[in-house]
Structure 1
Amino acid sequence: MTTNATPLTQVDDQLEADFYMYQSLLSGEELEILLGARAFLSKEIKPLVNEYWAKAEFPVEYIEKFRSSGLAALPYEGYGEHKQAVSHLLSGMVAVELGRVDASTATFFGVHNGLGFYSIYYGGDQEQRDRFLPAMATMEKIGAFALTEPLGGSDVSGGMRTTARREGDTWVINGAKKWIGNATFADYTVVFARDVEDNKVKAFVVEKGTPGFSPAKIEGKIALRIVQNAEITLTDCRVPEANRLQNMRGFRDVGEILRRTRGGVAWQSLGVMIGAYELALEYAKQRVAFGRPIAGFQLMQDLLVKSLGNITACWGMLVQLARLQDAGVYRDEQSALAKEYVAARMREVVSWCRELFGGNGILLDYDIARFFADAEALYSYEGTHQMQTLIVGKSITGHSAFVG
Structure 2
Amino acid sequence: MTRSNPDDKNGKMPSYFNLPPLDVSLAFPQATPASTFPPCASDYFQYDDLLKPEEKAIRLKVRACMEKEIAPIMTKYWEKAEFPFHAIPKLAELGISGGTIKGYGCPGLSITGSAIATAEVARVDASCSTFILVHSSLAMLTIALCGSEAQKQKYLPSLAQLKTIACWALTEPDYGSDASALKTIATKVEGGWILEGQKRWIGNSTFADLLVIFARNTSTNQINGYIVKKDAPGLTVTKIENKIGLRIVQNGDIVMKKVFVPDEDRIEGVNSFQDTNKVLAVSRVMVAWQPIGISMGIYDMCHRYLKERKQFGAPLASFQINQQKLVQMLSNVQAMILVGWRLCKLYESGKMTPGHASLGKSWITLRARETAALGRELLGGNGILSDFLVAKAFCDLEPIYTYEGTYEINTLVTGREVTGFASFKPATQRSKM
Pairwise TM-score range, normalised by the shorter structure: over 0.9
Aligned to 1:316: 338
Q: Deviations over 1:119-146 (max 9, x none)?
A: 1111101111111111101111111000
Report if the CA contact (8 A) 1:200-1:249 is conserved.
Answer: yes
Aligned to 2:89: 64
Q: 2:118 is aligned with what amino acid?
A: A
Query: Which of 168, 173, 177 matches 1:150?
Result: 173
Q: How does 1:253-264 map to 2 (within 5 A)?
A: 253-264=275-286
Aligned to 2:110: 87
Residue 399 of structure 1, CA deviation: 1.1
Work out whether 1:215 is the aligned partner of 2:240: no
Bigger CA radius of gyration: 2
Aligned to 2:59: 34
Provide the C-alpha distance between the structure 1 equivalents of 2:280 and 2:101, rounded to a whole number of angstroms: 16
Aligned to 1:133: 156
Q: Which runs of 5+ in 2 are unaligned?
A: 1-37, 427-433
Secondary structure, counterpart of 2:256 in structure 1: strand
Residue 14 of structure 1, CA deviation: 8.8
Task: Figure out how many residues of one structure are paired with residues of the other and give that number.
Answer: 389
Provide the C-alpha distance between the structure 2 equivalents of 1:362 and 1:371, rounded to a whole number of angstroms: 11
Provide the C-alpha distance between the structure 2 equivalents of 1:14 and 1:281, rounded to a whole number of angstroms: 10
Q: How does 1:2-401 map to 2 (within 5 A)?
A: 15-80=40-105, 82=107, 85-157=108-180, 159-401=181-423
Q: 1:213 is aligned with what amino acid?
A: L
Report if the CA contact (8 A) 2:224-2:270 is conserved.
Answer: yes
Provide the C-alpha distance between the structure 1 equivalents of 2:328 and 2:236, rounded to a whole number of angstroms: 46
Q: 1:155 is aligned with what amino acid?
A: D
Secondary structure, counterpart of 1:333 in structure 2: helix
Residue 74 of structure 1, CA deviation: 3.2
Residue 238 of structure 1, CA deviation: 0.6
Provide the C-alpha distance between the structure 2 equivalents of 1:264 and 1:28, rounded to a whole number of angstroms: 20
Secondary structure, counterpart of 1:164 in structure 2: strand
Report if the CA contact (8 A) 2:401-2:407 is conserved.
Answer: yes
Aligned to 1:3: none
Q: 1:185 is aligned with what amino acid?
A: F
Provide the C-alpha distance between the structure 2 equivalents of 1:79 and 1:339, rounded to a whole number of angstroms: 29
Q: 1:263 is aligned with what amino acid?
A: V
Report if the CA contact (8 A) 2:186-2:195 is conserved.
Answer: yes
Provide the C-alpha distance between the structure 2 equivalents of 1:81 and 1:209, rounded to a whole number of angstroms: 26
Q: Give the alignment's TM-score, normalised by structure 1.
A: 0.94
Provide the C-alpha distance between the structure 1 equivalents of 2:336 and 2:356, rounded to a whole number of angstroms: 13
Aligned to 1:4: none
Provide the C-alpha distance between the structure 1 equivalents of 2:145 and 2:64, rounded to a whole number of angstroms: 31
Report if the CA contact (8 A) 2:214-2:223 is conserved.
Answer: yes
Q: 1:63 is aligned with what amino acid?
A: I
Q: 1:353 is aligned with what amino acid?
A: G
Secondary structure, counterpart of 1:47 in structure 2: coil
Report if the CA contact (8 A) 1:72-1:80 is conserved.
Answer: no
Q: Give the alignment's TM-score, normalised by structure 2.
A: 0.88
Secondary structure, counterpart of 1:399 in structure 2: coil
Over the residues paired in the alignment, what is the CA RMSD in angstroms?
Answer: 1.3
Provide the C-alpha distance between the structure 1 equivalents of 2:173 and 2:55, rounded to a whole number of angstroms: 41
Report if the CA contact (8 A) 2:40-2:300 is conserved.
Answer: no
Q: 1:382 is aligned with what amino acid?
A: E
Residue 232 of structure 1, CA deviation: 0.3
Secondary structure, counterpart of 2:267 in structure 1: coil
Provide the C-alpha distance between the structure 1 equivalents of 2:146 and 2:46, rounded to a whole number of angstroms: 37
Report if the CA contact (8 A) 1:70-1:80 is conserved.
Answer: no
